[in-house]
Structure 1
Amino acid sequence: MKALCFSALSLALCTPSVLANDYQFYGRFDYSLTSSDSGSATHNNKQGLVLENNFSRLGVKGRSELSATTDIFYQIEVGVNGGSQDKTSNPFSSRPTYLGICHQDYGSLAIGRIDPVFKMAKGGVDVMDIYVMKHDRLFAGDKRWGDSLAYKSPVWQNVQLGVSYLLEDNYYKVGEQRRELGNYQVAVTYGDKSFNNSDLYLAAAYSDGMEDIRAYRGVAQYQWDGLTLGTMVQHSELVNQAAAQWQQRHGTGFIVSAKYALGLWLLKAEGGYDDSGTGAIANRLYQSKGNSVNEAPVITQWALGAEYKISRAARIHTELGQFHVKQHQDFSDSLVSLGFRYDF
């Protein structure tokens, strides 16, 4: 009976009248074979030759007009993890899921699991994003949060204001230190990451408490013909007093990036540095060694990559590079990855 109901629902949702109007069904499969020396930078923290799921997903999003000036918009998306053996009992995971209202004069307000404005201020500057060489291995600020609100102003002269707020009562118990933090983010952007209206993208953002950090972020990216250059600089301070050695974990990180479109090829390069002790590699280091770590690790990165479009929907991609952890060589990682992505 359940299977019959599910089939009927699927058929109803896929009728031409639905798909032709305000709804879009979409998905992505993206898998890589990755060789890692230590596993400190892979998605699943495993070393050797591993299969990595680069956030494969399935979703629906849409928009419905309430009036000439107001729309309802929404997105329901899940991560598809069933291809991984260690996700056998958990084949789906949470991704953007929210409901919002948008007014042409007053902006938009959404509630649910939303990419916060501090994260999205990065634009497209991280050319290794979603793969093993991405910037969150260096410094924090790339998580998505449920039980949150997000406001975005109308765009004026290519400038937009964004605010995210975490409903901390859903996360923390009464008396917990992190409940008393601001748990909000603010960002101002100029242009957009796709360079639709300008060849320049700029962003400044501040985060207070979300992802256990207090941080400032600045982003700049410029496109000239097929070449795109960018940088992101961030000062981070860990504010979770329950974390190992939290008082020493503050500092500055950055990435610089370049990508060049050459026919069906996209060539990419990125370098980075961080000494804040807030990124994914540092978190794994502190989880392993705890209070024996007497100073925040200094981590540097270099990465090269390429993508080749087989068709509009399919591409092959490869990445290679290294993360060097100055004081803890056992957490340094050299990586080579070859992957395939298909969008539908």
Structure 2
Amino acid sequence: MKNVKAPLALSLLAALSAPAIADVNVYGKANVTVQNSDEGEGSFTEIKSNASRFGVKGSETLSEESGLKVVYKLEWQVDMSDAANSSDDHLKSRNQYVGLQGGFGEVLIGRNDTALKQSQGKLDQFNDLEGDIKNVFKGENRMGDSITYKTPKFNGFQVIGSLIAEDAADADNGYSAAVTYGDKGLKKSAFYASVAMDSEVKGYDVVRGSIQGKVAGVKLGAMYQTQEKVDGSESADGFLVNAAYKINDYTLKAQYQVLEYDADKDDKVATSVGVDYKLNKNAKLFAFYTMQEKDETTDNDYLAIGMEYKF
């Protein structure tokens, strides 16, 4: 079987590099931590692969005159830590879509992050780690059976919309929409801001507002969110604030997030602090501590060191 896989892989790479496709990029990220985890039943040491991934993305120009392009992305998540003979799935699908891009904007069909998830930009300082905002807030969804539309940018503004097809006779379509302003990398604008909403997406309705900018060299971010189940239960609202400050090759980070329920249900709180050390443009070492308060008697604590490499 191994002798068959190698030629297949080489054939796939050869096909992707064919002249018919004008732009092909193979990319990925390896992110691994060694951490001490305490999830209420005692602490233990583990090695975690934090959404490590690889993918292929690119485009082909269909018309030079109109600028119309076919765009595509095929991305998979890879588990780099568990044993090869474990029962866990070591390869999981992430964003995978095909679409058209032109003067009208961009239309993508397939599996994709919802408009609400995309609206946060790069605000989350602990993305893919234990302090990821998805561990407290609903709405960080990647949905199959979806159609995503992005308008061109007008004076810094952009509108994003997602339709998630019901995919069953007894289900309802889901909708996600966002309006964003500025550059999420904060390179072309002084700040980035967005408002977004989900309607009947993974059983929840969500409204979210986010803003991020720099003040005296400190990157500051804030988010406010309301959420409830589509049946009107488990209504809650919460907020997030964070900061990051760069000193030479070091970046110091802190993030605080809370979600308060209207009904008799325990609030959720997450507090994270960390430091990144930049080795070069694509590689960094980092360390973090995250405490999650799940209820009055249970706290989850994580202390980790790790490395990330992007290619």
Q: Aligned pair count?
A: 306
Check whether the contact 1:138–1:253 (CA below 8 A) recurs between aligned residues.
no
- CA positional deviation for 1:78: 0.7
Does 1:335 find its partner at 2:302?
yes
Deviation at 1:58, TM superposition (A): 1.0
- Which residue is equivalent to 1:193? 184
Tell me the CA shift for residue 62 of structure 1: 0.2
Query: Which residue of the other structure, out of 160, 163, 171, is the alignment partner of 2:161?
Result: 163
Shift in Å, 1:11 = 5.2
Q: Given the alignment of the two structures, is residue 213 of structure 1 paired with residue 204 of structure 2, yes or no? A: yes
Q: How does 1:1-344 map to 2 (within 5 A)?
A: 2-3=4-5, 5-10=7-12, 12-13=14-15, 21-38=22-39, 48-68=44-64, 69-85=67-83, 90-104=89-103, 106-169=104-167, 173-175=168-170, 179-180=171-172, 182-224=173-215, 226-239=217-230, 247=233, 249-276=234-261, 295-327=264-296, 329-330=297-298, 332-344=299-311
For the 8 Å contact 1:82–1:90, the answer to whether it is kept is no
Cross-structure match for 1:283: none
Structure 2 match to 1:43? none
Q: Which structure carries more relative contact order (alpha carbon 8 Å, separation 6+)? A: 1
SS class of match (1:232):
strand
Shift of 1:94: 0.6
Go from structure 1 to structure 2 and tell me whether the alpha carbon gap of 1:296 and 1:310 turns closer, same or farther (over 3 Å shift).
same
Q: SS at the partner of 2:32? A: strand
Q: Distance in 1 between matches of 2:77 and 2:86?
A: 11
Give 1:259 deviation, angstroms.
0.6
Provide, for residues 298-336 of structure 1, a one-character-per-residue CA deviation record: whole Å limited to 9, x for no partner: 112221011111122221111103122343x13x21221
CA RMSD, 1 decimal: 2.4
Do the aligned residues in 2 keep the contact of 1:227 with 1:261 (CA within 8 Å)? yes
SS at match of 1:198: coil
Aligned-pair distance for 1:155? 0.4
Percent of matched pairs sharing the same residue? 26
Pairwise CA distance, 1:87: 5.1
In 2: Cα distance, 1:62 partner to 1:295 partner: 49
- Structure 1 unpaired stretches of 5+: 41-45, 278-293
* Structure with greater helix percent: 1
Q: Secondary structure at the match of 1:209?
A: strand
Q: With structure 1 as the length reference, what TM-score do the two structures score?
A: 0.82
Structure 1 counterpart of 2:109, one-letter code: I
**Structure 1 residue 15: Cα displacement:** 5.5
Cα distance in 1 for residues equivalent to 2:218 and 2:194: 20
TM-score, structure 2 normalization: 0.91
State the alpha-carbon separation in 1 of the partners of residues 246 and 219 from structure 2.
Answer: 9
Aligned-partner Cα distance in 1 for 2:17–2:116? 38
Q: Distance in 2 between matches of 1:7 and 1:125?
A: 37
Q: Which stretches in structure 2 are left out of the alignment for 5+ residues?
A: none
Distance 1:250 1:259, change over 3 A: same
Instruction: State whether residues 140 and 211 of structure 1, in contact with CA within 8 Å, keep that contact through their aligned partners in structure 2.
Output: no
